[in-house]
Amino acid sequence: MPATFVFDLDGTLVDTAPDLVGALNLVLSLEELKPVTTDELRHMVGHGARALIQKGLASRGRAVSDARFEDLVRAFLAHYELHIADESGLYPDVEAVLDMLADAGHVLAVCTNKPEKLSLLLLEKMGLLPRFAAVCGADTFPVRKPDPAHLTGTIALAGGDVRNAVMIGDSRTDRETAKNAGIPCILLEYGYSDVPARELGAEALIARFADVPKAAAGLLPASGS
């Protein structure tokens, strides 16, 4: 029976920090605030655009009204959509590993807190979209990560089985989502996390995307590995 491999997007499949930092710094410039660095941003990503903007403003000690915040969210999303793949790129071995898993008959899906529209656009720009049976963003369901229904709903849409699935991500959000769903989790050390991945208690910790198949083989039922 094929297994279902569910991937986070930002910091797992694609290094999106260079383009996210541009969009966030546009927002900060509208408030006449100092821009953030890419290193600062890497610790802010994982909960979606609104949380990213909130963290960016908080890092500069700025509070804004609800109405102003909504204006900033719209500005961020408009800019990011236009520049979503200017500098973003796939992490090493992503294409090769996804093809290897697909060739072995496994089901591939994406579960991300990026809006679905932007997730589809980014994956299309990266040439990855046809590889996935389902791409579920922050607004695909009424809930989002770390709610387990976001992950289990993604698996269902992909035609998979939660009893033979694994979550691959890079952050505390991914770890909590998988744990809440009762699904094993592989964390990558290179991604975006406010806590080092090694401290999050995932079932497997890897430094390279190339190690995903080997790590998953130790977590999935023998028939799905």
The pLDDT tens digits of the residues spanning 181-193 come to 999 999 999 988 8
- Asked if pLDDT for residue 223 goes beyond 70, the answer is no
- Which of 82, 97, 123 terminates a domain? The answer is 82
How confident is the prediction for the chain on average, in pLDDT?
A: 94
The answer to whether residues 44 and 67 belong to one domain is yes
Question: Do 115 and 168 belong together in one domain?
Answer: yes
More confident residue, 150 or 49: 150
- Give the Cα separation of 74 and 220 in Å (integer): 41
User: Each residue of 92-112: pLDDT tens digit?
Assistant: 999 999 999 999 999 999 999
Active-site annotation holder among 8, 15, 19, 174: 8
Alpha-carbon span 40 to 49, nearest angstrom: 15
Predicted confidence at residue 143, as pLDDT, reads 97
| Domain closes at, from 82, 109, 133 | 82
191: domain range? 4-15+88-224
170 marked as part of a ligand binding site = yes
Same domain, 105 and 181: yes
Same-domain status, 31 and 113: no
Q: What is the CATH classification number for the domain harbouring 73?
A: 1.10.150.240
Query: Is 19 among the annotated ligand-binding positions?
Result: no
Rounded CA separation 183/50 (Å): 27
The Cα-based distances of 126 to 16, 87, 131, 146 in angstroms read 11, 11, 11, 26
Question: Pick from 82, 105, 136: which residue ends a domain?
Answer: 82
Say whether 99 counts as a known binding-site residue. no
Q: Are residues 8 and 74 in the same domain?
A: no
Are residues 61 and 92 located together in one domain of the fold? no
Catalytic status, residue 194: no
Say whether pLDDT at 172 is over 80.
yes
Do residue 119 and residue 173 come from a single domain?
A: yes
Q: Are residues 206 and 140 in the same domain?
A: yes
Q: Are residues 56 and 106 part of one domain?
A: no
pTM: 0.92
Residue 127, Cβ density class (10 Å: 0-12 exposed, 13-18 middle, ≥19 buried): exposed
Read off the CATH number of the domain in which 159 is found: 3.40.50.1000
- Indicate if the pLDDT at residue 224 is higher than 50: no
Structure tokens at 207: 């430094």
Number of structural domains, the chain?
Answer: 2
